[in-house]
């Protein structure tokens, strides 16, 4: 089986490199919106579908009209067109499944914050010198805190606030099997107690979002008083985004540590197959005979949904799955659907 992994590293670009990356973000956002307009216009006026390959062919003629768009290479432009193709693929998939489709929308410059290179052209990662070489951007210092495993295939450069990150996607990553421990465990996730194991271990949910709610509310109130388009509003929006990123980083760090501890200590991990998307779905409206609506508990459900999102069940189970695969362990989901007590876990893990 071909195993793929992503490695994320912090970049330290210079002032000139930051300006070049910001300018490239603006050009790629413009390309995305132009490609979306081409698809919309072709279907509206000619009832003709435009594919990803068709739009890649037009990049050759774009060089004569807008040479600055292709100054950093054609690969990053193909990555932008690929993102649009993924958006339309998700739209058609949701239409076929009967879900809310969500037609692809035009992207503002302020919300376009990533660049993609989908193959090895236009970039090179020097692990010895710890630098990321980008075409027409230069050599950017990268903090490679761990070595890459496998073959680097593609990268994504993303801006988060004032920081820049690079995500390197590698293929054919070799496994790192761990020594067997002879232990098996069943886990149950919850809101108050995040993880309860069959051997009696309880991990309390730290509720990072609830702990940061006061600071986040203060930042959001300050943002609401700033006029749109002003520098003060931009700085206030950065403070709100920083608060959200802090909560996300705390939740991700907790999931990494907990999943690593479970995978290192057990050979078999049994967990529930949780439909998280269904659990956080808002309740259906209840129309009455008078033309109005009856109470459906939406306010209480919204509070429960916040707690479920704060627990991060899906993220934790996904980390357990890929770490167990890499370590040669056996994570199993779906066995615990009929479980009603922790005694059932004891019976499964002791059999």
Q: Which domain covers residue 276, as residue numbers?
A: 184-209+245-350
List pLDDT tens digits, range 222-273. Answer: 999 999 989 999 999 999 999 999 999 999 999 999 999 999 999 999 988 8
- 96 and 42, same structural domain? yes
Closest CA to 178 of 281, 40, 327, 35: 327
Residue 328 counted as domain residue: yes
- Tell me if 238 is assigned to some domain: no
> Strand, coil or helix: what is 168?
strand
Q: Give 203-223 pLDDT, tens digit per residue.
A: 999 999 999 999 999 999 999
pLDDT in tens, 63-86: 889 999 999 999 999 999 999 999
**pTM of the model as a whole:** 0.86
pLDDT at 333: 64
User: What angle, rounded to 10 degrees, do the helices at 15-46 and 74-97 form?
Assistant: 50
pLDDT in tens, 50-66: 999 999 999 988 988 99
Are residues 190 and 334 located together in one domain of the fold? Answer: yes
Residue-level pLDDT at 115 = 97
pLDDT greater at residue 330 or residue 334 = 330
Bridge pairing between strands 131-134 and 138-143:
antiparallel
Let me know if residue 220 belongs to a domain.
Answer: no
Q: What is the pLDDT of residues 160-186, one digit of tens each?
A: 999 999 999 999 999 889 999 999 999
DSSP 79-141: HHHHHHHHHHHHHHHHHHHTS---------GGG--EEEE-SSTTEEEETTTTEEEETTTEEEE
Whether 157 is in a domain gets the answer: yes
Q: Domain total for the chain?
A: 2
In a domain, residue 106? The reply is yes
pLDDT bin (cut points 50, 70, 90) of residue 6 is very high
Q: Point out the domain boundary residue: 124, 147, 171.
A: 171
The verdict on 192 and 100 lying in the same domain is no
Give a yes or no: residue 231 inside a domain: no
Residue 113 maps to a domain? yes
Same domain (yes/no): 42, 134 = yes
Task: Note the pLDDT of residue 274.
Answer: 85
Q: Which residues pair with 189 in a beta bridge?
A: 195
pLDDT band of residue 342 (cuts 50, 70, 90) is very low
pLDDT digits (tens, 9 = 90+) for 9-30: 999 999 999 999 999 999 999 9
Same domain, 307 and 255: yes
pLDDT of residue 332: 67
Under 8 Å between Cβ of 175 and 42: no
Residue 188's H or E segment, with its range, is strand 184-189
Query: What rounded mean pLDDT belongs to the chain?
Result: 90
Q: What is the pLDDT of residue 343?
A: 41
Do residues 255 and 118 share a domain? Answer: no
**pLDDT interval class at 344 (50, 70, 90):** very low
Whether 128 is in a domain gets the answer yes
């Amino acid at each position: 089986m071909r195993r793929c992994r992503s490695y994320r590293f912090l970049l330290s670009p210079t002032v000139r490199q930051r300006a070049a990356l910001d300018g490239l973000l603006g050009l790629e956002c413009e390309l995305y919106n132009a490609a979306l307009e081409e698809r919309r216009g072709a279907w509206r006026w000619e009832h003709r579908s435009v594919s990803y390959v068709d739009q890649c062919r037009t990049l050759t003629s774009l060089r004569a009209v807008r040479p600055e768009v292709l100054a950093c290479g054609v690969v990053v432009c193909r990555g932008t067109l690929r993102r649009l193709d993924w958006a339309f693929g998700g739209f058609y998939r949701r239409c076929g499944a009967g879900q809310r489709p969500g037609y692809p929308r035009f992207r503002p410059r302020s919300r376009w914050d990533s660049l993609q290179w989908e193959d090895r052209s236009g970039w090179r990662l020097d692990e010895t010198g710890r630098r990321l070489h980008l075409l027409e951007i230069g050599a950017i210092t990268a903090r490679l805190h761990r070595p890459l495993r496998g073959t680097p295939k593609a990268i994504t450069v993303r801006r988060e606030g004032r920081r820049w990150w690079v995500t390197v996607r590698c293929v054919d990553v070799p496994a790192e099997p761990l020594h067997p421990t002879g232990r098996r465990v069943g886990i149950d996730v919850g809101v108050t107690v995040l993880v309860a194991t069959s051997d009696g271990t309880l991990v309390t949910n730290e509720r990072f979002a609830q702990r940061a709610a006061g600071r986040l509310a203060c930042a959001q109130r300050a943002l609401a008083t700033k006029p749109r388009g002003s520098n003060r509003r931009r700085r206030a929006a950065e403070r709100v985004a920083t608060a959200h990123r802090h909560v996300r980083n705390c939740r991700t760090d907790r999931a990494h540590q907990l999943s690593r501890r479970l995978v290192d200590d057990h050979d078999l991990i049994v967990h529930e197959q949780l439909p998280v998307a269904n659990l956080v779905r808002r309740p259906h409206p209840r129309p009455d005979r008078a033309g109005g609506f009856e109470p459906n508990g939406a306010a209480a459900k919204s509070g429960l949904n916040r707690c479920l999102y704060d627990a991060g069940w899906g993220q934790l189970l996904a980390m357990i799955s890929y770490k167990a695969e890499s370590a040669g362990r056996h994570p199993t989901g779906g066995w615990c659907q009929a479980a009603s007590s922790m005694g059932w876990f004891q019976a499964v893990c002791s059999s």
